[in-house]
Structure 1
Amino acid sequence: MRRLPTPSAHRRALLGAAGLALALPKLAAAAQSQEPAPATCHPATDWAAFAARHVQADGRVIDFNTPQQQSTSEGQSYGMFFALVHNDRAAFARMLAWTEANLAGGSLAKKLPAWQWGRKPEGGWGVLDANAASDADLWIAYALMEGGRLWNDAGYRALGRSLLALAVRDEVVALPGLGRMLLPWPKSVASGPSWRLNPSYMPLQLLRYFQQADPTGPWGEVTDNTLRMFGAVTPKGFAPDWCAWSPDERAFVADPQKGLTGSYDAIRTYLWAGMLSDKDPARKMLLLNLRGPGQLLAERQPLPEYVDTASGAGRGMAPLGFAGAMLPYLKAVGATDALAAQVARVPGGRAAPAAPGTAPLPYYEQCLLLFGQAWHDGRYEFGRNGQLQPSWRTLCRPNRPA
């Protein structure tokens, strides 16, 4: 015969059941947050190694290959993007704080960040060039707005929108005979007769994203003019580092200072194009405009370090970082054999600790490798309208939001 519980035991049982009911949601959430990563998870050792070498504890991203031991708004923007891709919210917050304090006078909502900070010639440390760089401004605004969405942080979203508004105010100008376009720096330091432009400063997925986020802004027109630019400056399928718009000729022309060379800036145009969503209506034409590297590699020719965009003639051997930038592009154009060849180059050059006795790759090459390799590994992609689609569940040790 089953023994009935005593009143005191009965109360304890009821209290225990009630406590368990209250605790179940918390236990479920904890179990979910500690859910083991899939068996095929990605350790992301390249991001961990990059952060260990280049990101200080205070959030400063350092380029050790410069005499000034500089930090740039570009470096801060890339670091924030990589932290978002890898769900490293603490690192994101540190890099944002350093950027605001040291490059933006304390507030990205009020001031575009200076592009260069480092050791001053007269001694000490500080801003070396107070001008902004529009590509970094767009990447920071994007990282903030998408960080706000993915981490459900209204403060990040608002700050990103404020920074984007500053970029529109200071870095977008209506060029005579063309229309509104993104300048590489504030219009206060840019002037005609030829307006200098940098094709790698205008990733189409970011422009699409801002077009959705700010539908009354200039981004639709900027996007159309960016596509027009790519059609005009790539006669042999190679993008130049710089170009210019001539109001007198009503045409895109060679940059008055850099000429027709495509190299360390232009390599990013293929990277951005390769990562563009396959649902983007301009993707096919953009990849056709940028066909040069794909044709070279398909013919088993080496990728050059420098190329004359008018003739297609190259010189020098592309550094390892270029191979990382090629991965999304070669996959997008369906160059299977060329992709396999570049993948074979990359593993030893990932942004992981260098072998004993060898110097680590330069900061910029590591950035190119991180962008390309993380995308190729499936750690992130861009949606039709430019939204970031990270795969946090595929990371072996995902960082918990702070």
Structure 2
Amino acid sequence: MRVRINRKMGALLALGLGLTASTSFASIMKVAQTAAAPGACGEWTGYRTFVERFVQADGRVIDYSTPTQQTTSEGQSYGLFFALVANDRATFDRLLAWTRTNLAGNQFDAQNARLPAWQWGRKPDGSFGVLDPNSASDSDLWIAYDLLQAGRLWRDTSYTQLGEALAKQVVSHEITTLPGVGPMLLPGPQGFVTAGITRLNPSYMPLPVLRGLAHEMPDGPWAKLADSAYKLVKTTSPQGFAPDWAAWQGGQFVVDPKNGDVGSYDAIRVYLWAGLASSADPLAKPWLAALGGMRAKVAQTGFPPEKVSSTTGAASGEGPLSYWGALAPYFKSLGDERGLGLAREHLAALDTHLPGHEPVYYDRVLGLFGTGFIDGRYRFDEAGRLVPSWRNACD
């Protein structure tokens, strides 16, 4: 399973700037706002910064905050998505080639698509390679989706065929059936079903991605999986807060026996995916309604909690910049102008670079999802198809 690095840095460090406690919030925002991102048309400076600082020339996305200098299939999948939004086919192809060679052992074509290993990096002996061969199903979904959308937007069937092949591998190895619920995505092929307990991750099933897969592959389980994912989120978020992990046991969704009911660095993406869904999607409004606790908490305190109990609503800490990136589309879709304004203020820090203070991987990727959406660089239609600004508004 994947381990999310705890990136709590304190209130000021949550801005992703690494400033000292003596630096005032006003001065931080003054610097940040001078480098605010442009609108939907024009250079996407945040994306360029991501590529320059996190993507090697060979197409490897690196999380420098980890001791192993790890690359994850998550990072590769998000990089592919951002490259597509930016209409940067050269970077897309570099990312894809690195993934094929290093995470899928060169078994990554339409005739032989292997699920990519989720973690690659420095081994104990100093060499670099696969650290955990298990795959991560959310990344697999994203990569399949990226490829299908690339095939459509760039009119290249080789992407489409690979995306279809990968999606079929997800169906074969990473989807189970829960009685009375329907198809459900396992976090990976190995290690999540033991002793009558099936462990699940609510952040692994973005509604727009599932809709997009359903549109491109209508014979698959994707539409029913969207319904199952909504049931999971609604049932396991009784206070309006999603947990990082949950479980299925004895015919019902229960608190995860390993990680408990905490919602933090994984769960923050549940709000992001809900915010990105098209308002025309029949599940969009109820999905957002099931997650109302976060909106209420931010309205009360002015910031998202770093950790929260999904069963009681008890909260602690202050979430870092990545949380604001995830919540910006959530606030926008809810019509919460105050929450969206707070998110914009904090996210302005993403386009600020101070010497000696490098951006954090998770801040950057969730920040790109959030700012890209609220600035109009991309959206998803009701069928889950990606609509990048370069296809219409920027012509």
CA displacement at 1:230 relative to structure 2: 1.3
Alignment of 1:166-177 (within 5 A): 166-177=169-180
Q: Do the aligned residues in 2 keep the contact of 1:298 with 1:335 (CA within 8 Å)?
A: no
CA displacement at 1:215 relative to structure 2: 1.7
CA displacement at 1:161 relative to structure 2: 0.4
Equivalent position of 1:90 in the other structure: 90
Alignment of 1:47-66 (within 5 A): 47-66=47-66
Q: Deviations over 1:234-293 (max 9, x none)?
A: 1110000000011x2x11001111100000000001011001001001111111100011
User: Per the alignment, do residues 395 and 72 of structure 1 end up closer, same or farther by CA in structure 2, a change over 3 Å counting?
Assistant: farther
Equivalent position of 1:237 in the other structure: 240
Alignment of 1:176-191 (within 5 A): 176-186=179-189, 190-191=193-194
CA displacement at 1:41 relative to structure 2: 3.1
Q: Find the partner of 1:383 among 366, 381, 384.
A: 381
Alignment of 1:318-337 (within 5 A): 318-337=319-338
Equivalent position of 2:143 in the other structure: 140
Q: Do the aligned residues in 2 keep the contact of 1:263 with 1:306 (CA within 8 Å)?
A: yes
Distance in 2 between residues matched to 1:272 and 1:368, nearest whole Å: 11
CA displacement at 1:395 relative to structure 2: 9.4
| Matched letter for residue 272 of structure 1 | W
Task: Say whether residues 1:227 and 2:239 are aligned partners.
Answer: no
Equivalent position of 2:75 in the other structure: 75
Distance in 1 between residues matched to 2:40 and 2:359, nearest whole Å: 27
Equivalent position of 2:252 in the other structure: 251
- SS of 2:239's partner is coil
Distance in 2 between residues matched to 1:331 and 1:267, nearest whole Å: 16
| Matched letter for residue 292 of structure 1 | G
Q: Deviations over 1:69-97 (max 9, x none)?
A: 01010000000000000000000000000
Identify the range of structure 1 (135-144 vs 207-216) with the bigger mean alpha-carbon deviation.
Answer: 207-216
Distance in 2 between residues matched to 1:255 and 1:39, nearest whole Å: 42
Distance in 2 between residues matched to 1:187 and 1:257, nearest whole Å: 16
Q: Do the aligned residues in 2 keep the contact of 1:233 with 1:240 (CA within 8 Å)?
A: yes
Distance in 1 between residues matched to 2:291 and 2:39, nearest whole Å: 38
Any unmatched runs of 5+ in structure 1?
1-37
- SS of 2:317's partner is strand
| Matched letter for residue 135 of structure 1 | D
Percent of pairs identical after alignment?
50
Q: Do the aligned residues in 1 keep the contact of 2:61 with 2:75 (CA within 8 Å)?
A: yes
- SS of 2:358's partner is coil
Alignment of 1:75-224 (within 5 A): 75-109=75-109, 110-186=113-189, 190-224=193-227
Q: Do the aligned residues in 2 keep the contact of 1:307 with 1:315 (CA within 8 Å)?
A: yes
CA displacement at 1:148 relative to structure 2: 0.6
Q: Deviations over 1:309-332 (max 9, x none)?
A: 111111111101111111110011
User: Per the alignment, do residues 386 and 192 of structure 1 end up closer, same or farther by CA in structure 2, a change over 3 Å counting?
Assistant: farther
Equivalent position of 1:8 in the other structure: none
Any unmatched runs of 5+ in structure 2?
1-37
Identify the range of structure 1 (361-370 vs 79-88) with the bigger mean alpha-carbon deviation.
Answer: 361-370
Task: Say whether residues 1:340 and 2:341 are aligned partners.
Answer: yes
Equivalent position of 1:24 in the other structure: none
Q: Do the aligned residues in 2 keep the contact of 1:49 with 1:353 (CA within 8 Å)?
A: no
Distance in 1 between residues matched to 2:182 and 2:331, nearest whole Å: 32
Equivalent position of 1:355 in the other structure: 354
Distance in 1 between residues matched to 2:100 and 2:269, nearest whole Å: 26
Distance in 2 between residues matched to 1:341 and 1:353, nearest whole Å: 17
CA displacement at 1:39 relative to structure 2: 9.6
Distance in 1 between residues matched to 2:248 and 2:391, nearest whole Å: 45
**Which 4+ runs in 1 deviate beyond 6 A?**
393-396
Scaled by the length of structure 1, the TM-score of the pair is 0.85
Relative contact order, CA 8 A, sep 6+: which one is greater?
A: 2
Distance in 2 between residues matched to 1:39 and 1:392, nearest whole Å: 12
Distance in 1 between residues matched to 2:259 and 2:186, nearest whole Å: 16
Distance in 1 between residues matched to 2:115 and 2:192, nearest whole Å: 14
Equivalent position of 1:288 in the other structure: 289
Distance in 2 between residues matched to 1:229 and 1:101, nearest whole Å: 35
Distance in 2 between residues matched to 1:346 and 1:217, nearest whole Å: 38
Q: Do the aligned residues in 2 keep the contact of 1:42 with 1:394 (CA within 8 Å)?
A: no
Q: Do the aligned residues in 1 keep the contact of 2:41 with 2:390 (CA within 8 Å)?
A: no
CA displacement at 1:299 relative to structure 2: 2.8
| Matched letter for residue 58 of structure 1 | D
| Matched letter for residue 299 of structure 2 | A
Q: Which structure: larger Rg? A: 1
User: Per the alignment, do residues 338 and 286 of structure 1 end up closer, same or farther by CA in structure 2, a change over 3 Å counting?
Assistant: same
